[in-house]
C-alpha cells in the first residue's frame, strides 16, 4: 500500500491515450483537457464550443476516406456547425427554438389562440371570432363594382375570328385595366392548355352522393379543345375590345369568361355589357388611335 506525505507533490499518473475513432460522430461525449494542480480552470462557453467543433473535426477527418467527402464539402460542414453552435444547438439536433420564438413575437395574440386550441377549443374559437371582428376592416373590403347585372349578348360570333366588346359604366382606371388583362390572360392560358373541354366533364357530371372516380383513359381519348390565339386589349374611353381565335366551338370557354367578368363587375368595377361578335360597336371609332384622345393598347 502506498501512502503519500501531505507535503509531497501530487503524484502524476500516466493517462492512457484513446483513439478518436472510439468516439462516435453522433456521441455527446467530449474529451476535455485535465488541469494540473494549482492551475485555474477556464469555464468559458466559447472554449467548450471550440472543443466540440474540434472533436467533430478530428472525427470527420478519420472517416473522410470512407465517406468520400471532398475538402469543399468538409469546409461547408464546419461552417454550418459554427453557425449552428452560435445559435444554440446544432441543426442536426432538430431544435430551432430561436426561430420559433421570432415567429411568435410577430403575433403573440395568434400564438395564444393556437396554444389554447387543444386544451379549450371553444375558448380558442371565441378568441378567433373576436379577433376577426376587431380586424375585419383589414380583412374584408367593400365592393366597388356595380349592383346591376352585366348584360351579355351575341352578334354573329365566330369562334375562329371575332371581337369581344366591353362597355363600362366609367372609364376604367389603371388598376381596373390590370384586373381585366390578368383575367383574360388566365382565361387564355387555361383554354390553350385544354382546361375548358366540355367533352371531358367526368367529375361535374358524376353523382354527388358517391365517391368521385376518374377514368384516365377516357380523359386522354377525348377530342382536344385548344384556345388558339388572342389579341391585345384595346380601350377607347369606356369601351374596350379584344380579338380572339378560339378555334373549336367550345361554349364552356365562353361560360368561364362570362362567370369571371360577372364577378369583376360586381366586386371591382362595373361592366355595363359584353358583346360577343360583330365588327363594329356604337361608341367605337376606328380612326381614334392616339393616347391623347383616350386610346390605349394593353398586351395580354
Enter the C-alpha cell of residue 186.
388566365
Please state the length of the chain: 300
pLDDT in the model for residue 133:
77
pLDDT in the model for residue 300:
92
What are the domain boundaries of the chain?
Answer: 20-30+43-98, 107-139, 151-195+224-298
Residues with Cβ within 8 Å of 154's Cβ and at least 6 positions away in sequence, in order, are 275, 276, 277
Euclidean distance between CA atoms 174 and 165, whole angstroms: 19
pLDDT in the model for residue 121:
83
Enter the C-alpha cell of residue 91.
441543426
Q: 151-195+224-298 adopts what CATH topology?
A: Alpha-Beta Plaits (3.30.70)
pLDDT in the model for residue 108:
76
pLDDT in the model for residue 25:
46
Enter the C-alpha cell of residue 100.
420559433
Residues with Cβ within 8 Å of 86's Cβ and at least 6 positions away in sequence, in order, are none
Query: Is 196 in contact with 190 (CB distance < 8 Å)?
Result: yes
Q: What is the CA radius of gyration of the chain?
A: 36
DSSP strand pairing (151-154 vs 271-276)? parallel
Q: If we measure between CA atoms, which residue out of 26, 57, 52, 36 comes closest to residue 44?
A: 52
Residues with Cβ within 8 Å of 278's Cβ and at least 6 positions away in sequence, in order, are 155, 156, 162, 163, 165
Q: What's the Cα-to-Cα distance from 186 to each of 148, 195, 227, rounded to whole Å?
A: 25, 11, 12
Query: Is 181 in contact with 300 (CB distance < 8 Å)?
Result: yes
Model confidence pTM above 0.75: no
pLDDT in the model for residue 268:
94
Q: What are 169-213's pLDDT values in tens digits?
A: 999 999 999 999 999 999 999 999 999 999 999 988 888 778 888
pLDDT in the model for residue 71:
52
- Name residues of the chain where pLDDT drops below 70: 1-106, 136-141
Amino acid at each position: 500500500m502506498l501512502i503519500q506525505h501531505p507535503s509531497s507533490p501530487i503524484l502524476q499518473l500516466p493517462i492512457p491515450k484513446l483513439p478518436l475513432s472510439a468516439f462516435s460522430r453522433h456521441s455527446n461525449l467530449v474529451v476535455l483537457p485535465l488541469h494540473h494542480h494549482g492551475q485555474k480552470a477556464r469555464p468559458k462557453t466559447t472554449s467548450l464550443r471550440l472543443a466540440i467543433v474540434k472533436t467533430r473535426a478530428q472525427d470527420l477527418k478519420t472517416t473522410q476516406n470512407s465517406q468520400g467527402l471532398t475538402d469543399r464539402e468538409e469546409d461547408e460542414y464546419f461552417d454550418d456547425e459554427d453557425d449552428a453552435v452560435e445559435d444554440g444547438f446544432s441543426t442536426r439536433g432538430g431544435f430551432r427554438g430561436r426561430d420559433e420564438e421570432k415567429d411568435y413575437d410577430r403575433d403573440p395574440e395568434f400564438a395564444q389562440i393556437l396554444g389554447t386550441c387543444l386544451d379549450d377549443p371553444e375558448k380558442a374559437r371565441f378568441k378567433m371570432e373576436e379577433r376577426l371582428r376587431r380586424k375585419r376592416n383589414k380583412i374584408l373590403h367593400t365592393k366597388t363594382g356595380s349592383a346591376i347585372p352585366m348584360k351579355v349578348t351575341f352578334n354573329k360570333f365566330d369562334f375562329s375570328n371575332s371581337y369581344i366588346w366591353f362597355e363600362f359604366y366609367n372609364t376604367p382606371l389603371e388598376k381596373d385595366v390590370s384586373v381585366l388583362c390578368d383575367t383574360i390572360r388566365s382565361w387564355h392560358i387555361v383554354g390553350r392548355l385544354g382546361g375548358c373541354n366540355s367533352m371531358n366533364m367526368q367529375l361535374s357530371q358524376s353523382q354527388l352522393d358517391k365517391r368521385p372516380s376518374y377514368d384516365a383513359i377516357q380523359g386522354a381519348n377525348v377530342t382536344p379543345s385548344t384556345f388558339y390565339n388572342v389579341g391585345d386589349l384595346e380601350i377607347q374611353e369606356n369601351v374596350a375590345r379584344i380579338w380572339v381565335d378560339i378555334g373549336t366551338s367550345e361554349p364552356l370557354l365562353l361560360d368561364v369568361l362570362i362567370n369571371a367578368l360577372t364577378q369583376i363587375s360586381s366586386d371591382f368595377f362595373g361592366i355595363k355589357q359584353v358583346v360577343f361578335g360583330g365588327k363594329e360597336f356604337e361608341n367605337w371609332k376606328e380612326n381614334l388611335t392616339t393616347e391623347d384622345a383616350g386610346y390605349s393598347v394593353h398586351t395580354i
